[in-house]
Structure 1
Amino acid sequence: MPVITRPLTGEPLPLDLVNTRWPAQGGWIDALEDWHAEHAAALGGTTGLEQLRAARQAIRRALEEKEYDELNAVLAHGRVRLEMTGDGPVETPEVDDEAWRGAWLAARAFAELVRDAPPGRIRDCEAPDCILWFLDVSRNGRRRWCSMSGCGNRAKARAHYARALGGQAP
């Protein structure tokens, strides 16, 4: 199976997970299996794809609808055990089923991202046909598109075309 080139990479893990499914050419592309292979070590290696799909859907619903029941259901599969060692405190994730480890880690990373990101910096792309999410780390906090080379250029081209037509929409 060929590796699918995703339109946006390099985002924090939970947003990167959400961005593994996008519309294209009248259908949907799902790059979850490639993403799983790429992140297998960070996810504990034994993560189930169905559990990752559940986490991806839960995070998307939390982002788009501010609906947290599905996310809380994923988070219910694990907890963090805190221990003191000679080097200081150590957190150890524990899950009720190893198949949920990666999904739980992604859900936890999302909760931490929401807690730690500056307010309003977790955004969806403003392009009307784009469903990708990103963390705006720009200095001025005004990033509007998932990528300037893709959605940003298309938006600027549409605006230029509309100006050239005297303000009429294309």
Structure 2
Amino acid sequence: MTTGPTLPILAVTGQDGDVDFAFVSGNPALDLTGTVLSRRDEPVDLLAVPADLGRWVAACEGLPDRVTATPSAFDAALNLREAVYRLALDRVLDRRFHIPSLEVVNAAAAGPLPTVRLGDAGVRMSGGLPAVLTHVARSGIAVLADPGARLKECGRTDCTRVYLDRSRGARRAWCGMEECGNRVKAAAYRARRRTSAAPSGRAER
């Protein structure tokens, strides 16, 4: 089980639109933590520059279409991301919350609130990045404070996403089928094929 990022994180910029974000964790704050891939061995950061964060916000359902990420707001977003990830792992591992991470998340949740308007198309949120981070922090608090929320780490070895399992009987094993479930099943299938194709080792009579 992952205990937190201890290795340097490789930054991969998505300014050219070549990086796709996955929203499979069931919560905006958890999805934000998923922008660092494979935290165990060679972490890869999909939020390399402020423009990447703007793309993530625009892609995240329910958040404003456009925000401008200043360097200070970008740093605040990354700090919030790592704090939420640490607290989510605390829940997964059934341990006490990390106090410095609590302080980061609680401070972010006390920021300016976004404007929410109801229309025929549904609810529309507007506001700058500080307001977006407030909303994300509060969504993280809601799930982390819920004793009935079933948080899990993805069952694929190379994936370290934490997700909210809402499946019947809490039987979901991966962060998402397309992201990881299909890969696990394909790998298991290939392993079975190799086993069945291997020579039995018995000498012919």
Measured at CA, do residues 157 and 11 of structure 1 come closer, stay the same or move farther in structure 2, by a change above 3 Å? same
Match of 2:187 among 147, 153, 158: 158
TM-superposed CA distance for 1:105, in Å, is 2.6
Deviations 1:70-123 (A, max 9, x none): 23233135549xxxxxxxxxxxxxxxxx8744333322211111234734x222
Superposition deviation, residue 40 in structure 1 = 10
Number of aligned positions between the proteins: 149
Segments of 5+ residues of structure 1 without an aligned counterpart are 81-97
Q: Hey, what does 2:30 align to over in structure 1?
A: 15
Match of 2:86 in 1: 61
SS of residue paired to 2:170: coil
Matched with 1:113 is: 143
Residues 41-56 of structure 1 mapped to structure 2, 5 A cutoff: 42=63, 45=67, 48-56=73-81
Match of 1:134 among 156, 160, 163: 163
Q: Counterpart amino acid of 1:51? A: A
Q: Deviations over 1:48-67 (max 9, x none)?
A: 11111110010011122442
Question: How has the CA–CA distance of structure 1 residues 69 and 123 changed in structure 2, closer, same or farther, with 3 Å as cutoff?
Answer: same
Which structure shows the bigger proportion of residues in strand conformation?
Answer: 1
* TM, length-normalised to structure 2: 0.57
Question: Is 1:55–1:74's contact at 8 Å kept on the other side of the alignment?
Answer: yes
Give the superposition deviation at 1:46: 6.6
How far, CA to CA, are the matches of 1:58 and 1:155 in structure 2? Answer: 29
Aligned to 1:35: 56
How far apart, CA to CA, are the structure 1 residues paired with 2:28 and 2:129? 18
Q: Compared with structure 1, are the counterparts of its residues 46 and 151 closer, same or farther at alpha carbon in structure 2 (3 Å cutoff)?
A: closer
Cross-structure match for 1:73: 104
Compare 54-63 and 131-140 and name the one that shifted more: 131-140
Greater radius of gyration (CA):
2
| 8 Å CA contact retained: 1:123, 1:134 | yes
Tell me the distance in 2 between the aligned counterparts of 1:18 and 1:115: 17
Q: 1:144 to 1:79 in 2, by over 3 A?
A: same
Cα distance, 1:14 vs. partner?
0.7
Separation in 2 of the partners of 1:149 and 1:45? 28
Structure 2 counterpart of 1:148, one-letter code: M
Kept in 2, the 8 Å contact 1:125–1:133? The answer is yes
For residue 152 of structure 2, what is the aligned residue in structure 1? Answer: 123
Structure 1 pair 156/101, CA: closer, same or farther in 2 (3 Å)? same
